[in-house]
Amino acid sequence: MSIYTTMLLLAGAGVLVAGLFYTWAFGKGQKRAHGNLDSQAPEAVQEHAYIRNPIFLTYIIVISIALLFVVYFAVTTGTGY
C-alpha cells in the first residue's frame, strides 16, 4: 500500500471513530432528556441552521475531498485539460 492510501485509510478510520464517540455521547444526552423529544434547538443552531447542520457539513466536506482527489490525479497523471 502506498503512503497516500495509508494516510487516507487512517483519516477515514479517525473520522469513523470520532463519529462513533459523537453519536454515543449524543445518545446518552438524549437518554437524560427523560422523554422530551421535541425540545427546543440551541440558540447557536437556530441562528445558523444550515451552517451547524452536520448533514450539510458532511456533504460539503466529502464533495470537497472528492474534487481535490480528482484535481490531484488529473495533475499528477497528466490527463485532463
Do 25 and 50 lie in one domain? The reply is no
Do 78 and 55 lie in one domain? The reply is yes
Q: What is the mean pLDDT of the chain?
A: 79
Tell me the three cell numbers of residue 66: 472528492
- Would you tell me how many other CB atoms lie within 10 Å of the CB of residue 13? 10
Do 48 and 76 lie in one domain? The reply is yes
Do 26 and 45 lie in one domain? The reply is no
For residue 53, the enclosing domain spans: 41-81
Indicate the pTM of the whole model: 0.42
Do 30 and 49 lie in one domain? The reply is no
**53-61 mean pLDDT:** 84
Q: pLDDT tier at 38 (50, 70, 90 boundaries)? A: low
Helix and strand numbers, DSSP H then E, in the chain: 3, 0
Q: What domain count does the chain have?
A: 2
* 3-state percent helix, strand, coil for the chain, nearest multiple of 5: 70, 0, 30
Do 52 and 73 lie in one domain? The reply is yes
Residue 30 has pLDDT above 70, yes or no: no
Do 18 and 48 lie in one domain? The reply is no
